Amino acid sequence: MALRVVSVLKRRLGGPGQKLLRSGNLLSATQHRWEKMPSSVGFPVTSRRSFSKTALIVDVDHNLGIATMKMNNPPVNSLSLELLTNFVIDLEKLENEKRCRGLIITSASPKIFSAGLDITEMYGKSSAHYAEFWKAVQELWLKLYMSNMVVIAAINGSSPAGGCLISLAGDYRIMADNPKYTIGLNETLLGIVAPFWFKDTLVNTIGNRASEHALQLGLLFSPTDALRVGIVDQVVPEDKVQDTALNVMSRWLSIPDHARQLTKTMMRKPTVDRLLKQREADIKNFVSFISRDSIQKSLHMYMKHLKERKE
């Protein structure tokens, strides 16, 4: 498999990317942090760099034109306001780097891709906080869903609710074949409702009937079932997720950017425009919904249940 990744990339990547492949370092580059690669691979050190902020590690390889973003907010990569904000800032940075054409999103935490929105941001706080938090959730989805880059989710662990949304916002999803991992929009299990743009993103991926079923029951799918219903595109052994992501990326990057990007925009713009037209109303709706006593109670009970599960 590893050799196949190299040969596919060799065929599809030109110029300096081939130097990296010739040096035989591609696999170590994908298996370890890119910036740890020895400087003897034959291109300037400035051609790759990494930056990490709270809760996020980003490695960019300009020669391959691929960035890897690892969520790093232990223990479960819950999407706190800080993580959401840093995510958006880093996405903007990558989007502005002309040579960065592909993005792989994955997790630095073993077994968890992301536990979804940080529930502690959604109860016991002020209305102003809820509004700021929701705006950040919207912003991340808007940026990811309309990214000019090819976005591949390398789902190396469980991915409920907001975690699932992040992967659905990408162009392709690869999930680790471990029956303990689950993925889905399980909001109803928390007594809350997935907003229309979460729903639209799911419908665009798996169709109306399957979405209705999944959303009403708050289904969390095993990798096999997620593949069957189409929430993920590929299920591979756990240790092959990253290599597969690179392999798939090379295929997507072989398409001329402008044609692929215009096609993506054509497919996704109506969904994005729906939110853009009523962004403020959506924030108001979230604040008023989440502030209800009954919803606050449900979230509190859910967190209590999560903690009690361990005892």
Nearest to ligand LOHRUJSQ of 61, 118 (CB atom): 118
Sign of CA dihedral 159, 52, 40, 44: positive
Strand locations in 1-145 (E): 48-53, 56-61, 66-71, 102-107, 111-112
CB 137 within 8 Å of CB 192? no
Nearest to ligand LOHRUJSQ of 267, 281 (CB atom): 281
Residue of 77, 184, 187, 218 with catalytic role: 187
Count CB-CB contacts under 10 A for residue 158: 25
Nearest to ligand LOHRUJSQ of 73, 250 (CB atom): 73
Nearest to ligand LOHRUJSQ of 249, 283 (CB atom): 283
CA 235 from centroid of its chain's CA atoms: 16
Determine which residue in the list 16, 65, 160, 170 makes contact with ligand LOHRUJSQ, applying CB under 6 A: 160
The rounded distance, in Å, linking the Cα atoms of 95 and 82 is 20
Q: Which stretch binds ligand LOHRUJSQ (CB under 6 A): 42-50, 63-71, 117-125, 267-275?
A: 117-125
The rounded distance, in Å, linking the Cα atoms of 69 and 61 is 12
SS (H, E, C) 221-265: ECHHHHHHHCCCCEEECHHHHHHHHHHHHHHHHCCCHHHHHHHHH
The rounded distance, in Å, linking the Cα atoms of 263 and 256 is 11
Determine which residue in the list 18, 285, 291, 298 makes contact with ligand LOHRUJSQ, applying CB under 6 A: 285
Determine which residue in the list 106, 186, 234, 250 makes contact with ligand LOHRUJSQ, applying CB under 6 A: 186
Site for ligand LOHRUJSQ contains 162 (CB under 6 A): yes
Phi-psi region of 35 (alpha: psi -120 to 50; beta: other; left: phi over 0): alpha
Site for ligand LOHRUJSQ contains 16 (CB under 6 A): no
We find the least distance from the C-beta atom of residue 86 to ligand LOHRUJSQ, in angstroms, to be: 17
We find the least distance from the C-beta atom of residue 113 to ligand LOHRUJSQ, in angstroms, to be: 9
Site for ligand LOHRUJSQ contains 167 (CB under 6 A): no
Q: Which residues are catalytic?
A: 117, 162, 186-187
